[in-house]
Amino acid sequence: MNHKRASIPVHVIGGYLGSGKTTLLNALLESAQEPIAVIVNDFGEVNIDGSLISAVHDDVIELTNGCICCAVGTSLADVLFTILDRAELPSQIVIEASGVADPSAVAAFTHIQGLHNAGTVVLVDAINGLATMKDTYVGKVFIRQIASADLLALTKCDIAPVDTQNEIKSLLHTLAPTTPVVLSSPGVLSEILQVTSSIAEPDTHEKTFTSQLLTTPCFEDDNALSLYMTRLESSVVRAKGIVEMKNGERRLVQLVGRHLTISSSPLNITGIITISVVA
């Protein structure tokens, strides 16, 4: 594993049309506690609060909280290179895959030098997911999206009947038996992606998730760190933190569903913050 330079974690957000991707991105931009970059297909779909906008130029919206929102023009690679050329780099990049795209194709761009893949989250509409799956024309697209996910997030659970939720969860388990599924809202998903220490069982989330800060030891090497992460409770759907190695180096470790990444980091040691599904 090459640790010559720190790289920016990139999350890919997928899901069929109407599953809630844009709503999630708005929640991310509004609540970010660190500068992030969000890449969208079309500015017109993103309803950014006007009070957050500090400047608009070309295909970039600059926000007062240090975040940026970029629209994809002719090339996603060009947008990523532009972000990497900025004087102040974001703490993470979130890419919205189009509603009919295979997120794994988008994730391929995260291998550009200076970036690393931090996992793919695919949103599934609890109301319309079953119909989408059975649709002659788009069912295969839906299945490919599910297969690409490191974490599946069932949306619109506040209005979907329990029986419908159970049916779609059963379908997802059949299509992707090893991929964790969470029942969530845009606000909760935003916090899951950011994983900040301010998350502490918020009452508005109906105790669906719980957060914990783990104080970690010095790790012998990356293999020891990887083993530690794989031994976390199965209820953990997200984890992030900066840890120390015995040689004095530091690592940024991130877990999204079943996807684990370890990379060099110059930041201070934080321990590992985990988010778990409450049984």
On whether residue 136 sits in a domain, the answer given is yes
Report the mean per-residue pLDDT for the chain.
87
Whether pLDDT at 198 is above 50: no
CA distance 123 to 151: 9
On whether residue 166 sits in a domain, the answer given is yes
On whether residue 207 sits in a domain, the answer given is no
Domain that holds residue 100: 8-196
CA 57 to chain centre: 26
On whether residue 232 sits in a domain, the answer given is no
Most confident stretch, 15-19, 57-61, 264-268: 15-19
Alpha-carbon distances, residue 2 vs 6, 60, 216 (angstroms): 10, 32, 23
Confidence of residue 85 (pLDDT cuts 50, 70, 90): very high
On whether residue 246 sits in a domain, the answer given is no
Residues whose CB falls within 8 Å of the CB of residue 64, separated by 6 or more in sequence, listed in order: 51, 52, 53, 54
On whether residue 224 sits in a domain, the answer given is no
| CA atoms within a 13 Å half-sphere pointing along the CA-CB vector of 213 | 11
CATH code of 66's domain:
3.40.50.300
On whether residue 181 sits in a domain, the answer given is yes
CA distance 22 to 42: 10
Confidence of residue 5 (pLDDT cuts 50, 70, 90): low
CA distance 193 to 229: 17
Q: What is the mean pLDDT of residues 130-151?
A: 94
Q: What is the dihedral of CA 194, 199, 203, 209, to 10 degrees?
A: 70
Burial class (CB in 10 A: 0-12, 13-18, 19+), 28: buried
Lowest-confidence region among 38-52, 185-199, 260-274: 185-199
The domain tally of the chain equals 1
Whether pLDDT at 195 is above 90: no
Lowest-confidence region among 4-18, 110-124, 247-261: 4-18
CA distance 58 to 66: 17
Paired sense of beta strands 115-125 and 8-15, if any = parallel
**Per-residue pLDDT, 12:** 96
Check: CB of residue 39 under 8 Å from CB of residue 95: yes
Q: What is the mean pLDDT of residues 215-237?
A: 93
* Percentage of the chain modeled with pLDDT above 90: 62
Whether pLDDT at 131 is above 50: yes
User: What's the chain's Rg over C-alpha atoms?
Assistant: 18
On whether residue 272 sits in a domain, the answer given is no
Higher pLDDT, 54 or 191: 54
Whether pLDDT at 278 is above 80: no
pTM of the complete model: 0.85
Check: CB of residue 77 under 8 Å from CB of residue 109: yes
